[in-house]
Amino acid sequence: MRGSPPVNKQNTAQSEGPSAFPQAATLEFRDVVKRYAGQERPAVDHLSFEVPAGDICVLVGPSGCGKTTAMRMVNRMIEITEGDILLDGSSVRERQPADLRREIGYVIQQVGLFPHQTIGQNVATVPRLLGWDKHRVRARVDELLDLVALEPDDYRDRYPSQLSGGQRQRVGVARALAVDPPLMLMDEPFGAIDPINRGRLQNQFLRLQEQIRKTVVFVTHDIDEALKMGDRIAIMKQGGVLAQYATPRELLESPADDFVESFVGADRGLKALALHSIRELQLGPVREGSPVEIEMEDTLRDALSAMLVKDADYARVRDGGAEVVGTITLDQIREVAK
């Protein structure tokens, strides 16, 4: 997605009526509880934390810990039993669920594109529901396809079956952004993608986030993905209890208890390299010889892994294209690790 133009906020991004929320909303879980009938223990138990506007908050934890339930209470796909969730200080419980959902982007693992509609029609789903005229819808669809690096003239009239899994996932992101929501909910969005393309999609989304600066709640079971994607991470444990809410660096340096320490893993020093990108290093001159080529947006952990596998002491670096722009060395990574 690098090189894609930023969304023109004065163009087609705004919905017909005034939104209840600004471009990116603060999100607050305030003592939130979810109990299901017939269950002895709550699925989510007095969950409290705040996400600043424009941050990515990752909910992570073992299966059955309540992370998806917590996320789905934000747009009232699951109703809150006790407590409240606030968007910029306004309770979601005071909004009509249908209206609330139109103002919150939602991306799921299975993407959920309508198979008999074109890519353009899929992206236009919510604008059409809001009554946008066809010229405005077309402009917004093309704007968003361009934003997620899918050439509108090439992809607008294709069907989901004609796209790869990664391309369909990008269409899902475009559809979630259609009416410029202040908040996006992403439920294991890259979980069904193979590891190589998953890493690429993660990098593409992080580059996109630099442009759009949405507030994002991102659910995953993968601590490595959480550390890479999150500005803040909520680690949950069984019973829907919050174990720790912190930045990735704080989690790695100061786990709150034995559960968090175990969940983060014994290789915390290695994981810390995932918090640094190649772009942070001073590149050396271009040279031949190394079998390792990496991207500027890759992490130092990615680079270290590739160099160890290939028994190389330096890697050639590309910046989104085929041309190599410089090199980094194992010694540079060691210095960061110290």
pLDDT for res 194: 81
Model confidence over 200-216: pLDDT tens digits?
A: 888 888 988 988 899 99
Strand 56-60 to 215-220 pairing? parallel
192 has pLDDT over 80: no
DSSP string, 52-108: -TT-EEEEE-STTSSHHHHHHHHTTSS--SEEEEEETTEEGGGS-HHHHHHTEEEEE
In this prediction, what percent of the chain has a pLDDT beyond 90?
60
With bands split at pLDDT 50, 70 and 90, how would you rate the model's confidence at 4? very low
With bands split at pLDDT 50, 70 and 90, how would you rate the model's confidence at 10? very low
pLDDT for res 3: 34
**Residue 164 has what DSSP assignment?**
-
For range 45-53, the mean pLDDT: 96
188 Rama sector, left if φ>0, alpha if ψ -120 to 50, beta otherwise = left
**Residue 239 has what DSSP assignment?**
T
Average pLDDT, rounded, for the chain: 88
List of residues 6+ apart from 282 with CB closer than 8 A: 332
9 has pLDDT over 70: no
Model confidence over 104-158: pLDDT tens digits?
A: 999 887 768 899 999 999 999 989 988 899 999 999 999 999 988 899 999 999 9
